[in-house]
Amino acid sequence: MNQLERLFKELTEQKLRNQTRRHFLMDCVSKVGGLAMAPLLFGCEPGAAKNPIGMNLSARDLNPLSPLPPPFAPKAKSIIYLHMAGAPSQLELFDYKPELIKYDGKPCPESLLEGRQFAFIRGVPNILGPQANFAQHGQSGAWVSDYLPHFSTVVDEVSFLKAVHTDQFNHGPAQLFMQTGSPRLGRPSIGSWVTYGLGTENQNLPGFVVLTSGGKTPDAGKSVWGSGFLPSVYQGVQCRSKGDPVLYLQDPDGMTRDLKKSVIQAINSSNEESFKDFGDPETLARINQYEMAYRMQIEVPEVMNINDEPADIQELYGTKPGEESFANNCLLARKLVEKGVRFVQLYDWGWDTHGTSKEGSIDSGLRHKCQEIDRPVTALLLDLKQRGLLEETLVVWGGEFGRTPMQENREGKVQGWKGRDHHGDAFTMWMAGGGIKKGASYGVTDDFGFAGLEERVSVHDIHASILHLMGFDHEQFTYNFQGRPFRLTDVEGELIHSILA
Amino acid sequence: MDFLFPLFGRFHPLFVHLPIGILFFAVLLVFLSGKEKTSFLPVIPVAFLCGAFFALLSGISGFLQYRHEGYTWETIQIHLILGWSTVAVAIWLYISFRKTTEVTRILKAQSGGLFLLLMLTGHLGGNITRGDDYLFEVLPPGLQSFLGIEIEASKPLQLPTENWEEIEFYTGAIQPILNHNCISCHNPKNLKGELDLTSSEGLLKGGESGEILFNGNPEKSGLFARLVLPKEDEEHMPPKEKRQPRKEEIELIKAWIESGASVEKSLGSAQVPISLISAFFVKEETPFYPPTDTKSIAIDSLSALRKKGFFAENISIDSPLLRISCINFPDFQDEDWNKLISFSDNIAYLDLSGTQVTDAIIDSVSSLKNLTVLKINDADIEGGSLVKLKNAQNLKLLYLNSTAVTLDHLKLLDGHLNLIKIFVYKTSVSTNPDDKLSFELETGDFLLPKLATDTIVY
């Protein structure tokens, strides 16, 4: 008897030995009972015969990232979403309020505070005038402060939303709301919805890539690019801009690509067995992710390497090769979009300017943050424009909420630095690119910049418009979960026609 | 087995035609029946029985459809009551005709009644599925108003971009807005709040709560003030469940009242700013991709194309046009064109960037009649045959970044019917303000200046 036969014999014996009376009884209950139940449960459903485990699996389930056509001809085929985590102050950047100067240092009128709750402001705070110098720019005459000198040269490419409002005033929930349409955990992010609806264009890259900068990930954690109740294959793939873009993607020494292939094939076939046994769709997601990771090995190192970009481009963006920087991420975003990624989500942390420290202040920290993004954002718009990608790429810029016209008085004390508290009644976002008007401004706030007076836009409205530009009717784009269809916009959302070209 | 009920319900539209025909025939027999030889009396009960049976089936299926298909009681109540009445009367007539030896006048009258019942039920049933205005819709407008049919919301206001100043403010702008938003409830035949908004007389007269126009004072004028009340307010108009007027429409009404609510003034003489008007300009939305009657590609052929390495997808679900990209097919060569040739009529967006194609490919793609976007960035293109793209008449965007094309080659495309823009970033092309071309050239090479503020440490 040779070695192999001996092993097989041992395996069979071991299997028999493991099959105890308990197993037999348990199998009787679960499997014989299951046999009896099966026709009752699935017998009448069409398609039940197609697969052995009685689940209705569509081609989409088996190949979840394959491309799908959108319901309507889209204006944009990719999105770059620049999220300034921490919430930048609209009053220092875009929403020019000369009236505030007059009231600077004076107590805030009671009427603004009545029945209101703020994250940190207590009692009656003082008004804080704009800490920036504003001027009108471009043919559109858009107001932009001297915090963003480069950006102010491209305002004619952009549509401003000046009276966006949210009902959340803490970072985590507000970020979740902005990215998933709900301040509570469990909903898919915009990028997941888009990838679910359209699949991925470049089969060697994920459809939804996330890049972070500013030293930290958003307060709400990875759920802001999570897939919620959608299969997890649609969640955002976070890539690092420093070091290996994706950890453990490079093969270690001695591992050839063929060997890697056979490893993945072995793992996947074992996963397929497991899927046949349990029918958990998450197993399918795992199989797909292994395959994607294998294919990504070819494309990702090339796409994620900004060193090959010519010097003039590096200079345009102000990249810092080898470091984690927003500029690097902007350049990567363009490269990814060029390579057919549907949704590139950038998070830049550090915009929470309460005035409790120099870094977190309106007059110093915010200037520093603006300096970090001003050139890269402008470069991104120009670079997309010169390559003709701006025609088919939607760029969205914004935070999770805005900031108060009042100076923060945490614990009733005046802070050492100038700062503003969280505020969701009115803040500014902008969009540019595919399907967006050039040089438009929508939304009017009151003289204090406290609340929107006209042309207010909700987070749902923004989501509805984003989906519209990607070719979806936000009211029809649903996923059935827990017995009801879910939408990104829940039961709200209206298109912002005034900024749609 | 739960599906049986809704399934049976769905046969309602089939069943209903049987009692209509059979009972109609039965009634016909009643009236045609003469004495002796021409008497149809022997067959009349059978006809009524048959009709009653199918009326019963219709009644049951109709009820099941109401229960399972989300019809409200309000919409179907009369139809349902009349339907079951038809069943009852038909059975009653069956019994009566079996007993009788003669077609009496009373029986004739009852049969006539059944006929009316039948027609009315049928008509109401038709209204439920086809809509109340199914029959009236096709009548000429004059006849419609003569019959007093409520004209459901006319078209929204549209103004021409030129000479709009000469349009009369009231007749040309305000009345159309009212027609679109208000008069379905405020017209002479449906005087909600005793208010008629179909004419200037009605407007000036006001409604049950008095005048609605106070010249020059929109806030006091009910015509404007109610529009801007919060939707939840009882006084808000139109009622919150109805379609709400556009913001621009409300603004124009406000401007009209401010200008004195005159019936004579024109938009120009009332000095209405163009900002209030521009929202009503006729927008000619030309779709980006050309309209086409090309046949859709079967899903199998599309999958086969994908297996060959292409990204291929319909522009949208309903569109036969395709977006094809070689993003995962960098080895694509001119000869590979034959893989795409059977999709010629469908290709609207073609991305051959970064492939091995040469100028010869331009010959091939220039025959694509629906080609709208063509990308050949980063390829060995010199541009000698670019002029052939004039044949691709629907071409709007042409991408030739990082190629060897020259301005002279591009100039040959001058006069192309639809071409909007050519992207020639990273080429030798530079624009000269003297060159007037029918399309834009994007040469890029943007630079951002070094500013002193870039290096300040905050």
User: Out of A73-77, B282-286, B331-335, B451-455, which region has the weakest mean confidence (pLDDT)?
Assistant: B282-286
- pTM, 2 dp: 0.70
Contact B425 A387 (CB under 8 A): yes
Return the residue of A nearest to B3 by Cα. Answer: A44
For strand A457-458 and strand B190-191, is the pairing parallel, antiparallel, or unpaired?
unpaired
pLDDT at A44: 39
Contact A388 B456 (CB under 8 A): no
Distance from CA of A456 to the nearest CA of B (A): 12
Phi, then psi, of A134 in degrees rounded to 5: -105, 155
Q: Which of B96, B90, B14, B92 is nearest to B52 (CA)?
A: B90
Q: How do residues B357-399 score in pLDDT, each as one tens digit?
A: 999 999 999 999 999 999 999 999 998 889 999 999 999 999 9
- DSSP assignment of B132-183: TTTTGGGS-HHHHHHTT------PPP-B-SSSGGGSBHIIIIIHHHHHHHTT
Residues from chain A that touch B289, judged by Cβ atoms under 8 A, are 73
pLDDT at A392: 95
Residue ranges for chain A with pLDDT beneath 50: 39-54
pLDDT band at B127 (very low <50, low <70, confident <90, very high): confident
Residues from chain A that touch B306, judged by Cβ atoms under 8 A, are 66-67
pLDDT at A444: 95
d(CA B295, CA B300): 14
pLDDT at B142: 65
* Tokens at B173, concatenated: 């702008």
Do A466 and A183 contact (CB within 8 A), yes or no? no
d(CA B44, CA B95): 11
d(CA A208, CA B217): 55
Higher pLDDT, A247 or B266: B266
pLDDT at B149: 57
d(CA A75, CA A370): 30
d(CA B117, CA B80): 12
Give the helix/strand (H/E) hosting B76: helix B73-99
Report chain B residues touching chain A, CB-CB < 8 A. 3, 287-289, 306, 311-319, 325, 327-328, 375, 377, 397, 399, 401, 421, 423, 425, 442-448, 451, 453-454, 456-458
pLDDT at A49: 35
What are the domain boundaries of chain B? 4-130, 164-280, 299-455
Q: Which of B178, B177, B214 is nearest to B197 (CA)?
A: B178
pLDDT band at B144 (very low <50, low <70, confident <90, very high): low
pLDDT at A4: 80
Q: Which of A364, A369, A363, A326 is nearest to A88 (CA)?
A: A369
Q: Which of A292, A287, A193, A279 is nearest to A246 (CA)?
A: A292
User: Out of A40-49, B20-29, B67-76, which region has the weakest mean confidence (pLDDT)?
Assistant: A40-49
d(CA A469, CA A343): 13
Exposure string over A226-236, b if 16+ CB within 10 A, otherwise e: bbbebbbbbbb
Q: How do residues B302-357 score in pLDDT, each as one tens digit?
A: 989 999 999 999 999 889 999 999 999 999 999 999 999 999 999 999 999 999 99
pLDDT at A211: 94
The crossing angle, in degrees rounded to 10, of helices B105-130 and B73-99 is 160
Reply yes or no on whether the pLDDT at B206 is more than 90.
no
Residues from chain A that touch B454, judged by Cβ atoms under 8 A, are 318, 371, 375
Total residues belonging to chain B: 458
d(CA B374, CA B21): 61
Distance from CA of B372 to the nearest CA of A (A): 13
Q: How far is residue B240 from each of residues A288, B226, B308, measured CA to CA in Å?
A: 48, 11, 55
Q: How do residues B167-200 score in pLDDT, each as one tens digit?
A: 889 988 999 999 888 887 788 766 778 888 888 8
d(CA A472, CA A190): 12
For strand B397-399 and strand B421-423, is the pairing parallel, antiparallel, or unpaired?
parallel
Reply yes or no on whether the pLDDT at B32 is more than 60.
yes
Do A330 and A346 contact (CB within 8 A), yes or no? yes
Q: Which of A489, A387, A374, A392 is nearest to A432 (CA)?
A: A392
Q: Does A391 touch chain B (CB under 8 A)?
A: yes
Sign for the CA dihedral angle at A64, A68, A70, A73 comes to positive
Out of 3.80.10.10, 3.30.429.10, 1.25.40.10, 3.30.1330.30, which CATH number does the structure's domain B299-455 have?
3.80.10.10
pLDDT at B133: 66
Q: Position A468: which residue type?
A: H
- HEC profile of A225-276: HCCCCCCHHHCCEEECCCCCCCCCCCCCCCCCHHHHHHHHHHHHHHHHHHHH
d(CA B82, CA B60): 13
Average pLDDT of chain B to the nearest whole number = 87
